[in-house]
Chains A and B, each alone.
Chain A
Amino acid sequence: MEEQPAQALIDARDLVKIYQMGSVQVCALCGVSLQVQRGEMLAIMGASGSGKSTLLNILGCLDTPTRGRYYLDGISVAEMNDDQLAYVRGRKIGFVFQNFNLLPRATALENVELPLIYSGVAPHKRRELALAALEAVGLADRMRHRPNELSGGQQQRVAIARAIVNQPAIILADEPTGNLDSRSGEEIMAIFQRLNAERGITIILVTHEHDIARHAQRIVRIADGRIVDDRPVTSLAYATAAT
C-alpha cells in the first residue's frame, strides 16, 4: 500500500499459519512479511521445523494462511477460490520439490507435458513446448526415460523442466538439492541461475546449505516462524568472512 505494493511480485504481510494439533495450537508461521521483486533470486534458510516449507507452500498457493494478506502480482490470493488458485499454480508458479514428485509411470516428456494439459494447450503444441523445456535443462536426449531410469540429478532437471514449461513468473523450490550429491546440486543451481539471469524468472528456494544459498542474491533466515534476518548475499559473505 504505502510502498508501491503492486510493484512487488510477491507481497506477503503478517502471514500466520496455525496448526491445530488436538487441543494444542502450533504456530508454524507467526507473522511473516516478505516482499520479493520481479527477477530476484532468493534463498530461505532456517532450522528444521522453523516454517520454511509452510511459507513456501503459502507463497505457491498450495496452502492458505490462517491470517495475513498475500498479493501475488498485485492480486490478493486470500480471496481466491480453489479453481482460481489452481489456475495461478498452473500459469504463474513452477514448483520443484526435494523428492522430485514426478509421475513414476510417465516418461520425462509426459511429466513435463503435465502442466500443459491443465492449461489447455493442444497436444502437438504440448510436445513442442515440453521438448523445448527439456532442452533448456539439457535432457532432450532422455525424454523417453521414466523417472526410475534417471539419476536423481536428472530427475530434478525433469522437474525443473516441468516447472518452467508454462513460462511461470516464479519458481518455488523446496530443498531442491536436498536429495542430491554436491555435484548434481551445483548443476541444479547453475540451471536456476541461468533461468533467473536469462529469462528473468523469480526464484525462491529453501535450503539448509550455505553453499547452495550463496548462489542466490538474497538470503532470508527464519526461526520459529519469524523472519530473523534478511540481507543480500554479498553483505552476508562479508559477515561470514568477518566472524
Chain B
Amino acid sequence: MPLLESIRIALNALAVNKLRAALTMLGIIIGVGAVIALLSVGYGFEEYIAQQFSGLGSNLLFVFPGQLEPGSSPIRRTGQRVQPLTLGDAEAIADPFQVSGVVAVAAEYSRNGTIVRGSRELSTYIIGAPPQYQSVRNFNLTLGEFINQEHVNARSRVAVLGAQPAERLFDEGEYPIGQTVKLNDIPFRVIGVLEEKGGGPFGNQDNIVIIPISTAQTRLFRAPVVRGELAVSLIFIQTVSQDVMDVVADQVTEILRERHRISFRDDDDFSIISQSDLIKVFGDFTAVFTIVLGAIAGISLVVGGIGIMNIMLVSVTERTREIGIRKAVGARRRDILLQFLVEAVVLALIGGAQGVVFGYACSVLVTQLAGINTIVRLEAILLATIFSAAVGLFFGIYPATRAASLNPIDALRYE
C-alpha cells in the first residue's frame, strides 16, 4: 500500500475523533513548543555572550592575578601566594623596548561601591582607570569627556557615569555634566556619560562608574602597596593584531615572572587570557546550558509521546473490527502496521508543526516581555520535528504491532 494512501487513511481516522486527536497532539505541541522556546533562549544567550565579548574591544589580552582553576569559571582564582599586579607591571608591559606588538595597555583598579545623588542611590561597580582605558575597552561617550592624564596626575574627584547610573540618578532632561554625585560618601564631579553597552562577561557593563585610577587607589579605596607600587585589579593589553597575541602573551609572561621573582620551577602567579579563550570558555558553558534546557524540554516531548501511545492503544482496541474487515479483504500484516504507525507519526507531526509555531510564539513573547534575547534556529526546528516524528514512530510501534498481529477471525467477532 503506498504511503500516500496510508496518510490519507490516517487523516480520515484522526478526523473521526477530532477532540481526542487534538488533546493527544497537545502533549506534542507543548513538548515541541518547549524544545523550540527553551533552545531559542539558550541560543540567544550564547549569541548574547559572544556579542558581549566582541563588544569588549578588539585584540585584547587580559592579565589577572593568580592562576585560573582549570575547568572553573575564569573569574575565580586559587588564592595561594598570589602577588597582585601593579601599576609598575602595566608600565613594563607598555614599554615598547620590553614588549613589542602592543597598541595600548590599561590597568584598572575596581571595587563595588554605591553612588548617591540626593535621595537616589545605586549599588554600582567603580572602576579606577587611566585615559587609554576608553579606547582599549571600546567605550563611547554620549556626553562630556573621559578621564584624562591631568585627572590621573591630580587624583581628581571626577567620574564618568555608565548609562545605568546616569539614567537612574538623573531625570530626563537633566544635564549631568558638572553635577556632584557621592561615591562611597565622597563627592565627585560628573564629567562624562557612557553610551549603553549591555551586559558582559564581567557583569553589567552599563552599571559602572569610571574614575581616575589614582583616585580609586588612594582616595576612594586603599590599594595595597606591593614592591613599592600600587596594586591594580586587572590589566588589559590591546595588541596590534590577532596574530601577535601569542607572542605578546609570551613576552608579558616573561616580564611578569621576572618582576614577580618567580623561580623557574614555580608556576605563574598571574594568568593571561585572550578574548577568544574567554569566548571559548563561556561558549562551552552556554552550550551546556542550551543542552540542559533542550533536554528538559525533551522530557515533555517524551511525555507527549506516551500520550500518543495511550491513544493509539485505545484506538486499536476500538477499531478491532475495522482491522478484521481490512484483513478479510486482503490487508497484510504490514499494511495494518503501516496504517497505525503512519497514524501515530501523522499525529505527532501535526502536533510538532503546531508546536513549532507555538514555540516560536513563546520565544517572541519571552523576548518582548522579559527582554531576553532569543534565537529560533532552523536546526532547532528540524530537531524538534524529527524528534516528534521519532516519538510518534517509537510510541506507535507497540500499538501498531498489536493491531497488525490480530487474528482476523477474532477481530471480526470483536464487539
Contact = CB atoms under 8 A, between A and B. Distances in A.
Given A57-B409, A63-B409, A97-B412, A86 B332 contact: yes
10 contacts: A62-B412, A63-B409, A83-B332, A87-B332, A90-B329, A102-B325, A103-B325, A105-B12, A114-B325, A118-B329
Contacts of A166: 330
A7 interface: no
Nearest to B4: A123
B321 A101 contact: yes
Interface of B: 1, 5, 12, 16, 321-322, 324-335, 408-409, 412
Given A103-B325, A117-B1, A82 B333 contact: yes
A62 B335 contact: no
Contacts of B325: 101-103, 114
Given A86-B327, A89-B327, A105-B16, A118 B408 contact: no
B330 to A, nearest CB: 2
Contacts of B5: 117
B327 to A, nearest CB: 7
User: What is the interface of chain B mostly: helix, strand, loop, or mixed?
Assistant: helix
A118 B332 CA distance: 8
Contact of A103 (B322, B330, B408): B322
Contacts of A86: 327, 330-333, 335
B19 to A, nearest CB: 16
Interface in A147-180: 162, 166
Contacts of A37: none
Interface in A95-110: 95, 97, 101-103, 105
A166 B345 CA distance: 31
Contact of A91 (B324, B330, B335): B330
Given A82-B333, A97-B412, A118 B328 contact: no
A89 B328 contact: yes
Interface string A69-94: 00000000000001100110111000
A46 interface: no
A26 to B, nearest CB: 15
A115 interface: yes
A119 interface: yes
Contacts of A162: 329
Given A89-B327, A105-B16, A117-B5, A82 B332 contact: yes
A166 B328 CA distance: 13
Interface of A: 57, 60, 62-63, 82-83, 86-87, 89-91, 95, 97, 101-103, 105, 114-115, 117-120, 162, 166
B333 A114 contact: no
Contact of B330 (A63, A87, A102, A105): A87
A141 to B, nearest CB: 24
B340 to A, nearest CB: 15
B16 A118 contact: no
A105 B322 CA distance: 10
B415 to A, nearest CB: 10
A118 B322 contact: no
A91 B328 CA distance: 11
Nearest to B12: A105
A87 B322 CA distance: 18
Contacts of A62: 327-328, 408-409, 412
Contacts of A83: 332-334
List of 6 A-B pairs having minimum Cβ-Cβ separation, nearest first: A90-B330, A115-B329, A118-B330, A86-B332, A83-B332, A118-B331
Contacts of B409: 57, 62-63
Contacts of A105: 12, 16
Nearest to B9: A117
Contacts of A57: 409
B328 A95 contact: yes
Interface-central residue, B324, B325, B409, by most chain A CB under 10 Å? B325
A162 B330 CA distance: 12
Contacts of A120: 1
B330 A89 contact: yes
B376 to A, nearest CB: 39
A91 B5 CA distance: 19
B228 to A, nearest CB: 94
A207 to B, nearest CB: 19
B329 A89 contact: yes
Contacts of A97: 412
Given A89-B328, A101-B321, A101-B325, A118 B333 contact: no
A103 B408 CA distance: 15
A117 B326 CA distance: 10
Contacts of B322: 103
Contacts of A103: 322, 325
A94 to B, nearest CB: 8
A115 B333 contact: no
Contacts of B408: 62-63
A95 B16 contact: no
A83 B405 CA distance: 12
Interface-central residue, B322, B327, B329, B332, by most chain A CB under 10 Å? B329
A76 B321 CA distance: 28
Interface-central residue, B330, B331, B332, by most chain A CB under 10 Å? B330
B410 to A, nearest CB: 10
Interface-central residue, A101, A102, A118, by most chain B CB under 10 Å? A118
A62 B409 CA distance: 6
